[in-house]
Chain A
Amino acid sequence: MMDAANSYALFSYILWAMIAEALPFLLLGSLIATIVRYYLKPEVIERITAVPIFGILLASLIGLIFPLCECAIVPVARSLREKGLSPAAAYTFMIAVPLINPIVIFSTAYAFRGEAKVIAGRFILGWVAILIIGALLLLLLPSPSGEKKKHIHHKHTEDNHGASCGCASCSCETAAKEKQGIRGFISSVAGEFFFMGRYFLLGAVITSAARSFIPMESLMKIGRIPILSEIIMMVLAFLFSVCSEADAFIARGYLPWFSQKAILAFLILGPMLDLKNTLLLFRSFPRREVILLIIIIVGTVFVTAAIA
């Protein structure tokens, strides 16, 4: 049992490690999101995703040439959504990019060298799960059209006037003003960052508490029980919120103590859904959609890993 001083130290180290590692990537995500808002024409998205299933397919693989981690991806997905990308494609993009990307493939292959089943399982089953999730979202979340689509950004500009979308249909004065010059652009990036950052930091505080105080030793004792093993690792993937670049090394440490299916569930779910970003999701997208997304992700990953 740790004493109070050790608990404070451990919590402080984990919290600031997460902040120092992830905040720069949230800044990067805010920067890309602002570039998307300023420069990406909605017509381009409409053209690319004219066939909805093609949009899902593209979103599931774009991480191979556009690798971003889960800390940076939410603002980018939000800006793409505001530019007219369908909810299904935007969410597919958001869950796929942190998993199906070269950095994660390399780190997983390195961490699990000699364990081809785990490496192949993570990416093949992960990709299949992403496609299933995307297809389900396509069925359950119809793409908004017309005026509604054009003004979807107004949900966030009420709260975050500075991170305005900059689209032609936006009547907001700030957007027009901020489009003038580099100062306006930087101010928009900052606005996006401060909108996202507050939820990210609250998530980081909660995650650090989980990382500091969850007794792994007790969980390892029940880690070989079928089904329960998977559930435990999925809960840990959510609570621990480990960066997808590093999660394979953590999972490698758990391999002797949890079933391979459970390890796969951890490796597939972690990049898609974690505690650190969940508050962010609820503030960035409609609540109903986020709840649906979480249910679909958890169900699909559980079933995919169970049949692995």
Chain B
Amino acid sequence: MKGSWITRLASLCYAAVFLTLVITDRVRLLLVPRYIPVLLAASALFLLFAITGAPAPKDGMLAFFLPLLFLPGIYTARFPEASGSQAVSIVNTQKPTVQRQEEGEEKIPPEGPIVLDQEHYYWWYQELYDHHEAYMGREITVDGFIHTGAGLQEGQVLLGRMLMWCCAADVLTIGFLIHNPEVLPAVTGESQWYRITGRLTETSYYNPSTGESYRVPAIETERCSPIPTPELPWVYPDL
């Protein structure tokens, strides 16, 4: 079939790239885990294309190989947090419409320190924003990077995490405002990660869209130590 060698080659390349992403677990830096089966199905289809072949269009096949030039970028570097249009942060001012989470294994423990680990981050973050008054004064430990960029007002500092809804092209910075930012170390140009332990308090956040000020949870920092960037820097909502 005329021209089919190039479509077979492109199919093999994309099957190999997708399978490698899954096997090396690099895919979790690009997509939410629920898409992994979809990617595997796409790989299978590409392998079928490689077997059956397909006629190549007259021109433009180079477009299939151009993105391969940028593949090393995701294997050799980490995602630069708070860069480009990804840097927009969101301070949650939504009105809570969900029931306060009940006590249980996956819920915030009724007493003792609150440790926002990777597994619980998003749901506990939501709960703390919705019902922070119920947790005032509790000790809290959170990992994240210091964010002062787009989406925040002058002087506000957020201990941020990148929240991925579908893929790395649609991430947002979420997190907790720091009530006493003056105790934090000076932020360098690079996105340094910190583990902050402190007490849960609240602060005022002005939303220029509604013209209203909101009381939102914040952390009164007691201890702050630099930590290495985790292998998986994202938070997934896992809806």
Contact = CB atoms under 8 A, between A and B. Distances in A.
B64 A201 contact: yes
A84 interface: no
A254 B38 contact: no
Given A8-B73, A201-B66, A243-B166, A194 B56 contact: yes
Interface stretch (A52-60, A108-116, A120-128): A108-116
B55 A12 contact: no
Contacts, number: 218
22 contacts: A8-B70, A11-B70, A14-B84, A16-B30, A16-B73, A23-B14, A187-B54, A187-B55, A189-B45, A189-B49, A190-B52, A193-B54, A198-B63, A201-B64, A201-B67, A211-B169, A213-B84, A249-B172, A250-B165, A253-B89, A256-B91, A256-B93
Contact of B30 (A13, A256, A259): A13
A113 B70 CA distance: 38
Interface of A: 2, 5-6, 8-21, 23-24, 27, 107, 110, 112-115, 159-162, 174, 183, 186-187, 189-191, 193-195, 197-199, 201-202, 204-205, 208, 210-214, 216-217, 220, 224, 240, 242-243, 245-247, 249-250, 252-260
B77 A8 contact: yes
Given A113-B95, A190-B11, A217-B87, A10 B80 contact: yes
Given A208-B169, A260-B209, A9 B85 contact: no
B94 A114 contact: yes
B71 to A, nearest CB: 7
Interface centre among A11, A162, A190, A208 (most CB of B within 10 A): A190
Give the interface size class of chain B. Answer: 35 or more
Nearest to B26: A16
A220 B154 CA distance: 13
Given A17-B30, A20-B31, A216-B150, A190 B73 contact: no
Nearest to A205: B66
A246 B55 contact: no
Interface of B: 7, 10-11, 14, 18, 21, 27, 29-31, 35, 38-39, 41-42, 45, 48-49, 52-58, 60-64, 66-67, 70-74, 76-80, 83-91, 93-98, 149-151, 163, 165-170, 172, 207-209, 239
